[in-house]
Amino acid sequence: MKLAEVFNTIAGPDAPVEFVAFDGSKAGTPGSAVRLEVRSPRAIEMIMSHPGQVGLARAYVAGEVDIVGDVV
């Protein structure tokens, strides 16, 4: 299963964010104001081992995830 399929299951195929994963899969709305880039399997490990904002924050600080655009 590609990560984009997991993203679509969680956020829905019409999520107002573009999702790009290290496995080459993409989901969401291309050209959205916000793009979530998951750069490595380590990012998934960090997010899954600390669900919620802590795991995502750790992956972001480590450079394993990037959020492009204005999320405010």
pTM: 0.86
pLDDT tens string, the chain, 72 residues long: the values are 899 999 999 999 889 999 999 999 999 999 999 999 999 999 999 999 998 899 999 999 999 999 999 887
Q: Within 10 A of 10 (CB to CB), how many other CB atoms are there?
A: 10
For residue 7, what is the DSSP state? H
Which secondary-structure segment (H or E) carries 46?
helix 41-49
Q: Which tokens belong to 3?
A: 């990560």
